[in-house]
């Protein structure tokens, strides 16, 4: 059951972790009160719950992006509890986050933003190949990478596919002025990779094995599959570029 939650329902597992951490925190605080007559402040209790939630999430196999959410969720609620805000503000905030990160629930792919150093390396890679390339970003987020590359390589064609509603809308609007850049509301699994010279993705570990199968079936000879940070299990890349940034990012390249 735990393995199923890890693979298919990570949001449900994260919620379960929060509940378990709350229970453990209550037990620890009751023991401290009875044995040492110590009553923890509210924020201290919230931070303890966050640490327990992050530790439990790691132990239960949640991916790294969930650990920060587990750590910060309850402390953030406590921190904002002292501010007088209408209830609709939290509701709107929840739905905005949900619409930006819809893929983390449906495809286990959260919103990752490609860093500037990675964008520069991608531009150098494209410049060494051709002046006229077809490039696709699978899960293009807010389209920052596409806009950056389309400015520097005006003769190439840049396409992004995105299914998180808010991310799609914002990126579609951003790309409207760019004649060589477009965004489609489409799942990456419905894209024909044979149309592209370079396929780029910044996803998560979860979809990489299936993506490799798709790439093997569809990529034309000489085409590149480029992954930001996440590896394909059991398939060594043709080239690895270490970026040495704060995220310890790396560009992994496979050539068909």
Contact 182, 175 (CB under 8 A): yes
CA distance 25 to 162: 39
pLDDT score for 34: 85
Nearest to 143 by CA among 119, 121, 126, 127: 119
Q: Read off the pTM.
A: 0.65
The pLDDT score that the predictor gives to residue 108 is: 53
Walking along the chain (256 residues) 10 residues at a time, the average pLDDT comes out as 53 78 89 85 87 85 71 77 56 54 54 79 90 90 91 95 84 92 92 95 87 95 93 93 78 93
Handedness of CA 93, 99, 104, 105 (dihedral sign): positive
pLDDT tens column, 92-111: 555 555 555 555 555 555 55
pLDDT score at 106:
53
The CA–CA distances, whole Å, from 231 to 197, 203, 218 equal 20, 10, 19
Buried b (16+ CB within 10 A) or exposed e, 235-255: eebeeebebeeeeebbbbbbe
CA dihedral 67, 73, 79, 83 (to 10 degrees): 150
100 close to 165: Cβ distance less than 8 angstroms: no
Q: How far apart are CA 228 and CA 238, in angstroms?
A: 14
Residues 129-164: tens digit of each pLDDT: 877 899 999 988 888 999 999 999 999 999 999 888
Domain edges within the chain: 2-84, 116-255
Extended strands (E) in the chain = 134-138, 157-162, 181-185, 198-201, 224-228, 239-242, 250-255
Let me know if 84 is exposed, middle or buried by CB neighbors in 10 A (0-12, 13-18, 19+): exposed
- 116-255: CATH number: 3.40.50.150
pLDDT given at position 131: 77
Buried b (16+ CB within 10 A) or exposed e, 67-82: bebbbbbbbeebeeee
Q: Do strands 250-255 and 239-242 pair parallel, antiparallel, or not at all (unpaired)? A: antiparallel
């Amino acid at each position: 059951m735990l393995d199923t939650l890890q693979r298919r329902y990570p949001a449900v597992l994260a919620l379960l972790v929060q509940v378990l951490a709350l229970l453990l925190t209550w037990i620890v605080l009751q023991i401290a009160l009875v044995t040492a007559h110590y009553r923890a402040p509210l924020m201290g209790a919230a931070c303890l719950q966050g640490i327990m939630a992050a530790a439990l999430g790691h132990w239960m196999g949640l991916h790294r992006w969930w650990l920060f959410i587990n750590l910060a969720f309850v402390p953030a609620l406590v921190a904002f509890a002292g501010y007088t805000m209408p209830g609709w503000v939290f509701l709107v905030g929840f739905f905005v986050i949900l619409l930006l990160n819809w893929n983390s629930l449906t495809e286990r792919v959260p919103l990752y933003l490609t860093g500037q150093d990675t964008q520069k390396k991608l531009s150098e890679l494209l410049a060494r190949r051709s002046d006229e390339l077809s490039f696709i970003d699978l899960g293009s987020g807010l389209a920052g990478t596409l806009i950056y590359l389309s400015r520097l390589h005006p003769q190439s064609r840049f396409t992004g596919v995105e299914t998180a509603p808010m991310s799609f809308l914002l990126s579609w609007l951003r790309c409207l002025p760019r004649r060589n850049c477009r965004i489609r509301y489409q799942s990456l699994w419905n894209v024909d990779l044979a149309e592209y010279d370079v396929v780029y993705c910044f996803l998560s570990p979860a979809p990489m094995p299936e993506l490799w199968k798709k790439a093997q079936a569809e990529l034309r000879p000489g085409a590149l599959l480029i992954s930001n940070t996440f590896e394909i299990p059991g398939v060594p890349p043709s080239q690895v570029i270490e970026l040495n940034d704060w995220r310890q990012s790396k560009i992994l390249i496979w050539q068909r």
